[in-house]
Each structure stands twice: as C-alpha cells, then as structure tokens.
Amino acid sequence: MSEDQLHYPILIDQAMRGVVRDVLRRVQATGLPGEHHFYISFSTLHPGVRMSDQLRARYPKDITIVLQHQFWDFKVEEQQFGVTLSFGGAAEKLLVPFAALTAFADPYVKFGLQFQQPGLSEVDIIGADISQDIVPAAASGDESSAEIISLDAFRKKPG
C-alpha cells in the first residue's frame, strides 16, 4: 500500500477550517443572512481557548455554541475568532482558535463539517473514526438529511 507523504487528510481538514473562517468573516462584515445560524463545537481543552473559569467548569472537555440572534463583540482573525454570548443571563467572552473546532453546522441549509480531533498525532488522525453526529436532534429537527462532510472516506483503513 502506498504511503501518503503529502498528508491529504490534514490538508483537507485545514481547508475546511478555512471555509468556516471565510463564512464567519462574511458574517462579521454583513451579519447573518436570512435564517442562517451556526452551531460551532470546539474542544475547551485546546490551547488558546479563552473562557471564564466558571464556564470551563461547566464544559470541561467540549462545548457547542450557537450564533443566531444574540451575540456581541464578534471578531474573526486569521487563527481564531472571539465572541460574547449569554449563558444563563450572564455575558461570557470566548476566544476560539480555529484549530480547536470539532464541528460546524448551519442547520438552515442542512450543512455540516466535522474536524480532526485536537491533540491527536498525525498517525492517530489517519486511523481515527470521527463519524459522530454534530447537531443534537433537539437543535435542528431532521438532521438525518443534513450534509455532513467527514474525512473518513480519505483515511486509510486499518489492516
């Protein structure tokens, strides 16, 4: 079997993170169009994630945030984005590196992306199974028809 010395899964993952960055930049410039809204999941353990200690205690491993009606101080940079959201009536400022993302979804158009799990080595990534749901059933109704792009098709199968 041939060895992938170009590391295509990693390149695809980086390109997909770039898609999220570009979408968020558009929203920063013009606001959310129509009924679009986003579910953004990320690892709270990833280096560079900034959030209050209280929020981190509630979400020690990962969190899914929603960008829809109420978000403030939204700023998208090359490697990260920042946003203020309300959690239980309290404003919380978040700083999220794009490398921390685990999933992105826009339920309005039934679009979703899954990303390599942060912190895994390249060997782990190539053999990883990340086929998990990215949008909870309560969040979007019929997610069974959502288009979720996974890297599994590009990975070498064990054996």
Higher pLDDT: 123 or 32? It is 32
Is residue 121 assigned to a domain? yes
Question: Mean pLDDT throughout 122-150?
Answer: 36
Nearest to 115 by CA among 40, 44, 32, 28: 40
Higher pLDDT: 60 or 129? It is 60
Is residue 49 assigned to a domain? yes
Question: pLDDT for 14-70, tens place per residue?
Answer: 999 999 999 999 999 999 999 999 999 999 999 999 999 999 999 999 999 999 988
Q: How far apart are CA 79 and CA 56, in angstroms?
A: 21
Length of the chain: 159
CATH code, domain with 21: 2.30.30.220
Is the pTM for the entire model greater than 0.75?
no
Domain limits at 48?
8-154
Question: Mean pLDDT throughout 152-159?
Answer: 48
Backbone angles phi, psi at 61, to 5 degrees: -115, -50
Is residue 2 assigned to a domain? no
pLDDT at 124: 37
Is residue 132 assigned to a domain? yes
Is residue 26 assigned to a domain? yes
Q: How far apart are CA 85 and CA 37, in angstroms?
A: 14
pLDDT reading at 122 higher than 70: no
Bridge partners of residue 92, in order along the sequence: 85
Higher pLDDT: 1 or 78? It is 78
pLDDT at 125: 35
Is residue 136 assigned to a domain? yes
Name the pLDDT band for 73 (thresholds 50, 70, 90).
Answer: very high
Is residue 159 assigned to a domain? no
* Encoded amino acid at 153, one letter: A
Bridge partners of residue 82, in order along the sequence: 75, 95
Residue 47, burial from CB neighbour count under 10 angstroms (0-12, 13-18, 19+): exposed
Name every residue whose Cβ is closer than 8 Å to that of residue 11 and which is 6 or more positions away in sequence.
none
Is residue 96 assigned to a domain? yes
Domain count across the chain: 1
Q: How far apart are CA 95 and CA 39, in angstroms?
A: 16
pLDDT at 120: 45
pLDDT reading at 135 higher than 60: no
